[in-house]
Structure 1
């Protein structure tokens, strides 16, 4: 019997894929993925670039996974040993506990190993607490790889409960554990604007891995609640990939979110995902698709909150200007969006909770620029855009659009200075979406490419 490539399987799980999902994305049979992981065959050369992208590893790292010493069937290597993982200490109410982080997650460039290594200093107490866990608990957490790494801020008692849930979902995956996963997702969303997608994704993918693995085993009522939480998490993962401009994986997680929301009977979430797909269509410069998706999100079938309707109306207006409408022609739509937002009664407070008048104003400015009115857009940015009212990532993102408006309005020095402010925040939060917009700004500034400020911006973006 062939030896197993356990590293390849761990990398797949770390990226949040089952064998079935990975095969679907690659357009192959599930049995082919199973043969790769069992050592019976290897991916053909033309499939390796896409496989590396889906596993979130470099081509070189994928080759290392395929060359690594394989384990024989039944050997201890079939189950990850503690030495295969980095134990990351976290402090919970004054106590330090260790969590296991899969090495493939670290290699995936979504986690900074230097940051983690720094956090390991002074972790002697954590080793003692890890030792206090039963061997079965440790084995359960290590076996589930990234799912365990996605559980920061756990005390010993809670760590035991989650380990038991991972080992026996039907018996132990109760509402208390489900509430814990919801809290962790909320914490990921809260810190995303400052941490950036590359530091947030491992935790989110871990949560989704737990949902994917255990939804098929729990009691029916818990399953529906778990899938509803999974739909929210999958929508957030799609957003993180969108910020990384990985549109393929973004669409994949939007589709997963839709599927889970359908099974959970969550109609508002289904409508909300249509809106998010409209935003993805804007990133991909597909205005007709953006228009029809934004219109679909407004259907009464979904019963989305008025603030979600407001954003959908704004997206519809932006699609119309991309298709040739003037700023004056879409002004009634933008006024309608503002009226909807003002009339929002706060139903379903978690859905679209981030949407505010300030965000609508930023999107209106983007719409004006698309409509050929960059001076109006620049004025809106000057009036509304403040660092104290947006996260670091979002502030940098809207600065990049402000820089573009200023460049189109014939203010190259101010555009370059604004672009430099944006660039510093884009690199701090790893926002590829912002970096790409700054490339567009440099294209607008081409007539003034020899000005010192413009040259400085070009060097900053290329760094």
Structure 2
């Protein structure tokens, strides 16, 4: 007799789906979902990536939910059992254990212990700190689908912020909900470059959970406007997950942004998300996918603002050099991107409002490096990259690419010094994306690995 997959059902409920809703999103019968959860059958391989995104888990975690990969769910000695509660990863005297929460705190929510166990290495909340959180905050987090497994590496303060954001959103909902959400998202975006993703994500996730919860309680017109704001917030959440290199959750939120934008009738946002997915493909070094996504983003039907069109053209050029084009071959596209940006002066759209000539220059430098012209890239960085014109996070990020260009141009000492400057900003803003780029830089510097400056960079990045 097949064993029931209770973990799969719990993950579905934690993601806010009924069997009927999940089946609809996957384009299958409800009975198929029921068979998966009862253990009578398994999802076909081609459905698993989308199923994982809908359940807000990685594909590896999904395999664990299906029972295809062994996972330890036994409590760590001294951590307590799970018979009367749930296990949550905490750090006790420097060691991660699974601690059982009281039954009252989780009475209204079920969470998959497989998924919790998979996240335990990311725990940063001590047992004492978790006890300091109010029962109301704990129940708020667990009741409304913000499972611990969906919030990697968040500490006590961040978890409390999620609960507070949800509570504030509910309080403001009957007054000026759209203004509230827009103000909060704008504030998060303004602070992101200095605060970093791990401090910004909790607030954004709290807002998105409130939007998802309340969008069904309003009239159709307000729902569309609310979902349009939600699409903007979901795109921002996807960007934050990109910065911590959690590509699975990033793609999940890009898909949510698309779904909400479709329902809201927001064509430009749909095209914008295609552009952002192209950028995610660059992070994952998938140039062909990057190319087709950048081209899809330029379809006239999206009615994209000129700034977004400019970025999409630049993104297409970068993808083309990654698949073999020369810098000279894509120079007309880069010139066209700058023309579009110049034409955008009277464009009052907020979508892509961050895109500036300085940012285009940075991306052009990255494109030249990809095309095998690192010296041209270094010249652009030296002329344009200034700390007072970028956020701390973005300045550190572009410094990491400048370091790579210097290394490829045969200047190892300057590359290492630039890399160290980049690393200090990446550490201050918790930008895993920048840190990963510095790992790539160290690869470029391998022929000079014994030089003092290069050794210093290696020690900093490896620490």
Q: Give the TM-score of the pair, scaled to structure 2.
A: 0.73
CA deviations 1:197-236 (Å, max 9, x no partner) are 1111111111111122222222211111111011001101
Q: Distance in 1 between matches of 2:162 and 2:198?
A: 17
SS state at 1:215 partner: helix
Q: Give the TM-score of the pair, scaled to structure 1.
A: 0.73
Q: Distance in 1 between matches of 2:308 and 2:338?
A: 11
Residues 111 and 350 of structure 1, relative CA distance in 2, 3 Å threshold? same
SS state at 2:263 partner: helix
**What is aligned with 1:294?**
294
1:189 pairs with 2:189: yes
Check the 8 A contact 1:102/1:149 in 2, yes or no.
no
**What is aligned with 2:165?**
150
**What is aligned with 1:451?**
451
**Any residues of structure 2 matched to 1:120-135 within 5 Å, and which?**
none
Shift of 1:285: 1.2
Q: Structure 1 residues 284-293 or 392-401, which shifts more? A: 284-293
CA deviations 1:63-92 (Å, max 9, x no partner) are 6899434369xx855259xx977259xxxx
SS state at 1:352 partner: coil
1:111 pairs with 2:149: no
Query: Which consecutive unaligned segments of at least 5 residues does structure 2 have?
Result: 1-5, 40-57, 66-70, 87-102, 110-129
Q: Structure 1 residues 19-28 or 450-459, which shifts more? A: 19-28
Q: Distance in 2 between matches of 1:246 and 1:185?
A: 21
Shift of 1:108: 4.3
Q: Distance in 1 between matches of 2:188 and 2:63?
A: 25
Q: Distance in 1 between matches of 2:131 and 2:64?
A: 23
Shift of 1:278: 0.8
Shift of 1:178: 2.5
1:336 pairs with 2:383: no
**What is aligned with 2:416?**
416
SS state at 1:321 partner: helix
SS state at 1:349 partner: coil
Q: Distance in 2 between matches of 1:446 and 1:370?
A: 19
Query: Which consecutive unaligned segments of at least 5 residues does structure 1 have?
Result: 36-46, 89-97, 118-144, 166-172
**Any residues of structure 2 matched to 1:277-288 within 5 Å, and which?**
277-288=277-288
**What is aligned with 1:212?**
212
Shift of 1:175: 5.8
**What is aligned with 1:407?**
407
Check the 8 A contact 1:242/1:280 in 2, yes or no.
yes
Q: Distance in 2 between matches of 1:398 and 1:79?
A: 46
Q: Distance in 2 between matches of 1:11 and 1:254?
A: 19
Residues 223 and 23 of structure 1, relative CA distance in 2, 3 Å threshold? closer
Q: How large is the Cα RMSD of the aligned pairs?
A: 3.8
Q: Distance in 2 between matches of 1:146 and 1:23?
A: 29
Check the 8 A contact 1:23/1:30 in 2, yes or no.
no
**What is aligned with 1:123?**
none
**What is aligned with 2:315?**
315
SS state at 1:150 partner: helix
The number of residues matched between the two structures is 384
SS state at 2:217 partner: coil
